[in-house]
Amino acid sequence: MNFKKRLKERKDSISVIGLGYVGMPLALSFARLVDVIGFDVDEEKVHSFKMGVDPMNEVDDTVMKETAAKFTAWEEELKKAKFHIVTVPTPINEDRTPDLKYVKKASEMLGKHLKKGSIIVFESTVYPGVTEDICIPILEKESGLNCGKDFKVGYSPERINPGDKVHTLENIVKIVSGCDQEALEEIAAVYGLIIHGGIHKANAIKVAEAAKVVENSQRDINIAFMNELAMVFDRMGIDTNEVIDAMNTKWNALGFKPGLVGGHCISVDPYYFIYEAEKLGYHSQIVTSGRKINDSMDEFVVNSIIKQLILADKIIKQAKIVVFGITFKENTSDTRNSKVIGIINNLKEYGIDPLIVDPYANEEELWNNYSLTLSSIEEISDADCLVFGVPHDTFKSLNWSYIDSFYKSNMDNSYKVLIDVKGMFDKNQMENMNIKYWSI
């Protein structure tokens, strides 16, 4: 079956199951060329989509209003499609083992409505073997059909970078794989409709699954190395960023910087690798160590905040701290696994309840998930310490006179503490102003 041709002629449809940061761009991109059914179990979210509003603030409302994609929370609609893309979350449990409940539920639901001749592509991040050993058996059980004979399955790891307007879905290389050669070619052709950055055909589903886990584990390890250096250089009284600038003059320097590692990819995917490796009797040393270092960075930042407050002669429990930015990265509303939340929780252990400012974060989501509230930037005054945790463009555009108004009036600069987690500000300027300044 030539799926690409049938889709272009609108004889078949694509369904995208899970309309988050991965599924929504896929649905919108495909909908420019073919019929798309966008499915999500969150009825409130689906209603927003139908009204032309993206509650995640990743897509312009004009694009939402103009898209031809059909959004639904009714699973019966999946029967209208024969090419299905599953993009549901794959988080970790509290014990940091893989949480596959969403991908299992999606497989069960899809299996009940699967038709002969269909192709299912999983994009959710998993450890090698999940698609073939867990998802396919569920699809076969629920549908009564046989994989390879009645339907085909593939895996294509997502590479969406929330908030990134440069490395978008269409212009980055797309890895695809299939349960057999026919499936591989069909899947590659369908994605080729929207992908301009190139298609890489993996020889096996497990190879594609592993590639996703490894590419994020690699970044995690490299950042962990820089974070370890930052913690040591802090004790040495050496500016880490100055060391990095000097190091990067070498032609083969990698360009990584220290920082908080959160979100739903880099801080999660390595645990999928660690889990499967341990099941096979191998205890990962490098990947596990990297995770341990990066998971401890919020505590390192808080210890540095406390130290700077003491140096500024502040009474810790009475210090008024304002945290700017709570999302896991800049210019996105996503707070999942944000290490800034770890900073806030650690501060509370010292009896400090900081104010939080973030024009990107979803206030309702923040309260429901973390019992935290947001303050508007106009409310901020009489602060002892400002913590810039996320370098949102909005914060970068603030001039110093406005930032200075957030502190207590008539306070000498030597008593003003500014914690610059991502190095937004000019260190020399801060020091020339005699401000207690600290950055990773």
Instruction: Give, rounded to a whole angstrom, the gap between the first and last alpha carbons of the chain.
Output: 55
**Is residue 235 helix, strand or coil?**
helix
Q: Which residues contact 216 (CB under 8 A, 6 or more apart)?
A: 125, 265, 266, 269, 270
Residue 147 annotated in active site: no
Q: How far apart are CA 138 and CA 112, in angstroms?
A: 10
Provide the residue type at 411 as one letter.
M
Q: Which residues contact 38 (CB under 8 A, 6 or more apart)?
A: 15, 16, 19, 23, 24, 27, 31, 46, 49, 69, 70, 71, 72
Q: How far apart are CA 61 and CA 49, in angstroms?
A: 9
C-alpha distance from residue 77 to each of 74, 91, 235 (Å)? 6, 27, 59
- Please tell me which residue in 135, 147, 179, 265 is annotated as part of the active site: 265
The secondary structure of 52-85, three-state, reads: CCCCCCCCCHHHHHHCCCEEECCHHHHHHCCEEE
C-alpha distance from residue 370 to each of 16, 305, 323, 409, 418 (Å)? 29, 22, 15, 32, 25
Closest CA to 417 of 436, 438, 440, 431: 436
Handedness of CA 184, 186, 191, 197 (dihedral sign): positive
Q: How far apart are CA 96 and CA 353, in angstroms?
A: 28
What tokens does 287 get?
């990947």
Q: Is 270 left (phi over 0), alpha (psi -120 to 50) or beta?
A: alpha
Q: How far apart are CA 78 and CA 118, in angstroms?
A: 11
Element (H, E) at 420: strand 417-420
Element (H, E) at 15: strand 14-17
What tokens does 171 get?
């212009």
- Which residues are annotated as catalytic? 265
